[in-house]
Amino acid sequence: MTAPLSPKQVVLLVARREFVAQVRSRSFVIGLVITLVLFSGLLLLGAYIGVQSDSKTLGLTAQTASLQPVLEQSAKGQAIQLTVRGVDDEAGRQQVDAGDLDALLTGEAGGYELLGLDAVDSRLQALVTAAVQQQTLTAALTRAGIDPAQLAARSQLAVDTLEPADPEAGQKLGLAFVGIILLFFSLSGYGQLVATGVVEEKQSRVVELLLASIKPWQLLAGKIIGLGAVGLLQLVILSVISGAGATAAGLLTVPTAAVGMFVMVVVWYLLGFFLFAALYAAVGSTVSRQEELNSVVAPMIFLLLIPFVLTLNLLPNDPRNGLAAVLSFIPFFSQTVMPARYALGVASLGEVLVAAVLALIAIVVVVRLAGRVYQNSVLRTGARVSLREALSNRS
Amino acid sequence: MLDIGRISKRFGTRQALAEVSFAVRPGEVFGFVGSNGAGKTTTMRIVLGVLAADSGEVRWKGSPIDADLRRRIGYMPEERGLYPKMKVGEQLRYLARLHGLSNAEAAASVEHWAGRLGVAERVGDEVQKLSLGNQQRVQLCAALVHDPEVLVLDEPFSGLDPTAVTVMSSVLRDKAESGVPVIFSSHQLDLVERLCDRIGVIAAGRMVAVGSVEELRERDGSILIDVHGPPAGWAHGLPGVELVAVDGAGRSRVRLAAGVDDQDVLRAALAAGPVHEFRRWRPPLTELYRNVVESGAAAADHAEVPAA
């Protein structure tokens, strides 16, 4: 009555169980909601901080009121929203104390004083310093009989680029950020789930029953494919929601670039997931209890965190950074760095393909080693299995 | 016939199994007994291929057990294992499908066995919500859902209540009667004696005895007789008769060496006084086991153990 199953059927059966069990679990829905909340919270917070730091209120006394035109002009040049309020010295100090004013400019020519509560915002300070200097300079020039406007015209510096500046650069940076954040969370989250699943089977001892009828690699492959599919589902849901949200809010006006980035994220998620999931499964199989798991997966999280942090720090100011360019080809780093470089328009499709092929080669090697570790460790309970034992050939 | 042929296994410096051999016939319930660490679980794991033997071979119907044959064995591991958060029915259907049943066959089989083992109302519950006894019943379902050709059960009775023991026993008997060789290990020797057609005793990785309880009794050839009536000392001086035990109420137990005629002994007893009772004492498995393991451990180093 029982017909032999092909290995593919076994792997699919296992994968289906993993997928269904995960998608139905409360943690999947909760995880999705939490990620969405965190995500929109992060975006809102970013927007709020942006607005906050760019809008300043400065109090001017009667003696410093003459600086107002210069201040407003340079504020416009530096994209700071400056509100100027005329106050007398006494009221101004009270308003700084109450937080109504970011700072008060008081004193008089030759003895200006910029008064803040416990610190003065550095940009505001720079703005006022420049305005005071310019005021002084203009006065001195006029006294010396030089026309300030003429001087300005002669000292003008034109800025130009060989390639036309990309008007969508800001959005592309945003896309790259959202993309690598999604990638990071998906890879670390679902990689961790693979390790937890392996330990769960080991801890509950169900693995012995399973391995009495199917082979270790089939169980491992099914688990990785099933959980990888759940991760992919979550990635798609989050991408669609954030894409739709950003479009609705008017933040996203470059649908082609967004779709391109989405495809990149999916491809690199798959490449990164197989690489990391195999590693997570291997280390998971060396321990017997969930409590021991954290210590062995910590190095993996670092491995994922390094390119993530590097990308967030290096690329916004310097998309052509040399270190990032090198890392974008190295497996274990490429899944984060390369899609970001691609989104910023500094990596060609050809480079992406090269990095993808390198990642595929790494997957083949890592999956083999991880499979061996898994096979050698998964039935051994009790003390943690050392890596040397796990990699040795005998089972 | 399930043939376990001279399997050996070494863990580090410890010889866990040394040329263990025995056979289980179709339709037979085979009890596997031995103290903790004697090698029962290791043997069963090797039969299931969960562990590889260093040498020796397990054969079923004459051919070595491969992955495809293994799939047709029903297994209950010593370490019970089921997905704690998966529902009973789903879990059993999943396991049945891994053994090659179609969806419909799996559903029908799960329904049948859950009913038979009395967990039909719990199929919609998560395994972790079941009592240990019920989890055990589900575990047995898991070993049975794919209608296995061979049953290998590691301590299926541990932790069961008397009702469950009865159900479990009758299931094992039924399976055996349908032609399936059933092998199970247990420390409950009275149960083993009642249920098993044949018994294998393993000590320190070696089989020290294999056979029916009756065969084990006759192994050393001596006969034990309980006598009630004649005064103490009646057997004193009788050739080939050894007094094993005596109480103050006229009861004694004697061991007759091989070849001693029990009628001669009866006449001697009658000569000493009235005999109210004179009958063969059949030691229970517990006692046989103790003798076999004690003498077996001593003899194991040089004796080749007869295996059926």
Binding-face residues of A in 338-357 toward B, CB within 8 A: none
Q: How many domains does chain B have?
A: 2
B15 lies in the same domain as B40: yes
Residue B83 has pLDDT above 60, yes or no: yes
Q: Does B93 map to a domain?
A: yes
| Cβ contact A2–B100 (<8 Å) | yes
| Cβ contact B83–A4 (<8 Å) | no
B156 lies in the same domain as B44: yes
- A310, A332 Cβ separation under 8 angstroms: no
Residue pointed to by tokens 């720079």: A126
| Cβ contact B71–A4 (<8 Å) | yes
Q: In the prediction, which pLDDT does A352 show? A: 92
Picking from A5, A206, A214, the nearest residue to B82 by CB comes out as A206
Q: Does B307 map to a domain?
A: no
Confidence band (pLDDT; 50, 70, 90) for B220?
Answer: low
Q: Does B286 map to a domain?
A: no
Q: Does B295 map to a domain?
A: no
Q: In the prediction, which pLDDT does B304 show? A: 44
Percentage of residues in chain A having pLDDT higher than 70: 93
B140 lies in the same domain as B248: no
- A304, A268 Cβ separation under 8 angstroms: no
Over residues A195-212, mean pLDDT: 87
Which residue in chain A has the smallest CA separation from B45?
Answer: A212
Rounded Cα–Cα distance for residues A355 and A353 (Å): 5
Give B-chain residues touching A198 at CB under 8 angstroms.
none
Q: Name the H helices within A55-158.
A: 68-77, 89-98, 122-143, 148-154
Over residues B21-39, mean pLDDT: 91
Domains of chain A: 7-43+169-391 (no CATH), 54-154 (3.40.190.10)
B244 lies in the same domain as B115: no
* Sign of the alpha-carbon torsion through A153, A156, A161, A164: negative
Q: Does B268 map to a domain?
A: yes
Residue B302 has pLDDT above 50, yes or no: no
Give B-chain residues touching A2 at CB under 8 angstroms.
71-72, 99-101, 146-147
ipTM above 0.85, yes or no: no
Question: How close is the nearest chain B Cα to the Cα of A186, in Å?
Answer: 23
User: Which residue out of B92, B98, B135, B139 would a mutagenesis test of the A interface target, given it has the greatest number of A Cβ atoms within 10 Å?
Assistant: B98
**What pLDDT digit, counting tens, does each position of B92-151 carry?**
999 999 998 999 999 999 999 999 998 999 999 999 999 888 898 999 999 999 989 999
B88 lies in the same domain as B185: yes
**What pLDDT digit, counting tens, does each position of A371-389 carry?**
888 888 887 766 677 777 7
Q: In the prediction, which pLDDT does B307 show? A: 44
B32 lies in the same domain as B177: yes
Number of Cβ pairs < 8 A linking chain A and chain B: 76
**What pLDDT digit, counting tens, does each position of A45-102 carry?**
766 665 666 678 888 888 888 888 888 887 877 777 788 888 888 888 888 888 888 8
Give B-chain residues touching A21 at CB under 8 angstroms.
83, 85-86
Q: In the prediction, which pLDDT does B125 show? A: 93
One-letter amino acid for residue A32 of the chain: L
Give B-chain residues touching A17 at CB under 8 angstroms.
94
B9 lies in the same domain as B66: yes
* Sign of the alpha-carbon torsion through A116, A122, A128, A133: positive
Residue B300 has pLDDT above 60, yes or no: no
> Residue B236 belongs to a domain with what CATH number?
3.30.70
> Residue B109 belongs to a domain with what CATH number?
3.40.50.300
Residue A106: Cβ-neighbour burial (10 angstroms; 0-12, 13-18, 19+): buried
B25 lies in the same domain as B146: yes
Q: Which residues of B lie closer than 8 Å to A, measured between beta carbons?
A: 45, 48-52, 67-68, 70-73, 75, 77, 79-86, 94-95, 97-101, 105, 142, 146-147
Residue B305 has pLDDT above 50, yes or no: no
B116 lies in the same domain as B225: no
**What pLDDT digit, counting tens, does each position of A307-358 carry?**
888 888 887 778 888 888 899 999 999 998 998 888 888 888 999 999 999 9
Q: Does B288 map to a domain?
A: no
Give A-chain residues touching B80 at CB under 8 angstroms.
205
Residue B306 has pLDDT above 60, yes or no: no
Identify any residues that bridge with A82 across adjacent strands, giving them in sequence order.
A56
A207 in B contact zone (CB under 8 Å):
yes
Cβ neighbors of A69 (< 8 A, separation 6 or more) are none
Q: In the prediction, which pLDDT does A393 show? A: 56
Confidence band (pLDDT; 50, 70, 90) for B182?
Answer: very high
Q: In the prediction, which pLDDT does B303 show? A: 43
B147 lies in the same domain as B227: no
Query: Which of A69, A67, A83, A81 shows the shortest CA–CA distance to A129?
Result: A67
B209 lies in the same domain as B232: no
**What pLDDT digit, counting tens, does each position of B53-64 carry?**
899 999 988 888
Q: Does B92 map to a domain?
A: yes
Among residues B199, B216, B233, which one ends one of the domains?
B216
The strands making up B206-211's β-sheet, listed across from edge to edge, are: B73-76, B150-154, B182-185, B29-33, B198-203, B206-211
* Sign of the alpha-carbon torsion through A194, A199, A205, A209: positive
Residue numbers of the domain that contains B110: 2-216
Query: Which of A198, A201, A193, A260 shows the shortest CA–CA distance to A233?
Result: A193
Pairing of the two strands B241-246 and A81-86: unpaired
Per-residue buried b or exposed e for A239-270, using 16+ beta carbons within 10 Å of the residue's own CB: beebbeebeeeeebebeebbebbbebbbbbbb
Identify any residues that bridge with B139 across adjacent strands, giving them in sequence order.
none
B116 lies in the same domain as B244: no
Q: Considering only A27-36, A216-225, B19-28, which range has the smallest mean pLDDT?
A: A27-36
Q: Does B117 map to a domain?
A: yes
**Using CA atoms in the order A205, A209, A214, A215, what is the torsion angle rounded to 10 degrees?**
40
**What pLDDT digit, counting tens, does each position of A130-172 carry?**
888 888 888 888 888 888 788 778 877 777 777 666 667 777 7
**What pLDDT digit, counting tens, does each position of A271-298 carry?**
999 999 999 999 888 888 888 888 888 8
